[in-house]
């Protein structure tokens, strides 16, 4: 299969730009770049690890548990972005402050399949211990 270097570079630039635009609010990354029906896998073990089908499934069953516990938007720093074919790889670090005043930090590695400038599928590796710590530590009151 012949590589389309122009498409690879375009995909890489798109991801880099969206990461830059969402540096102070990581939810914008998902809203801007992910297709509505994305198939997204969170690698690892435990309740949040698994494959989500669609943005609604991903946010309702994985992302909102974190974001509801943050006192301010999740900020991200891009460590690197690489492309190979339709795949874009992004290494990211995040930080915020939880509603209990403690710092929240994490690191991620994403492999995303891009079609028509949107992420249609991918896999995410992150420090699930940090995720499970904040989710387990902060009990949200249901009103």
58-86 confidence digits (pLDDT tens)? 999 999 999 999 999 999 999 999 999 99
Choose among 79, 76, 80, 86: nearest CA to 11: 86
Residues 6+ apart with CB under 8 A from 75: 23, 24, 25, 26, 94, 95, 96
For the chain, how far is it from start to end, CA to CA, in angstroms? Answer: 56
Segment 40-59 mean pLDDT: 97
17-41 confidence digits (pLDDT tens)? 999 999 999 999 999 999 999 999 9
**How many CB atoms are located within 10 Å of the residue 29 CB?**
21
Segment 98-113 mean pLDDT: 98
pTM (2 d.p.): 0.92
Is residue 143's pLDDT more than 70? no
């Amino acid at each position: 299969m012949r590589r389309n270097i122009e498409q690879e570079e375009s995909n890489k630039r798109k991801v880099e730009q969206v990461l830059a635009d969402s540096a102070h609010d990581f939810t914008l990354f998902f809203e801007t770049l992910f297709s509505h029906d994305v198939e997204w896998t969170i690698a690892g073990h435990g309740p949040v690890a698994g494959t989500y089908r669609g943005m609604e499934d991903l946010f309702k069953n994985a992302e909102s548990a974190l974001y509801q516990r943050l006192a301010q938007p999740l900020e991200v720093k891009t460590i690197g972005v690489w492309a190979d074919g339709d795949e874009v790889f992004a290494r990211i670090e995040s930080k915020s402050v939880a509603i209990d005043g403690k710092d929240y930090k994490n690191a991620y590695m994403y492999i995303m399949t891009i079609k028509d400038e949107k992420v249609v599928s991918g896999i995410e590796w992150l420090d699930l211990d940090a995720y499970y710590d904040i989710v387990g530590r902060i009990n949200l009151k249901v009103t």
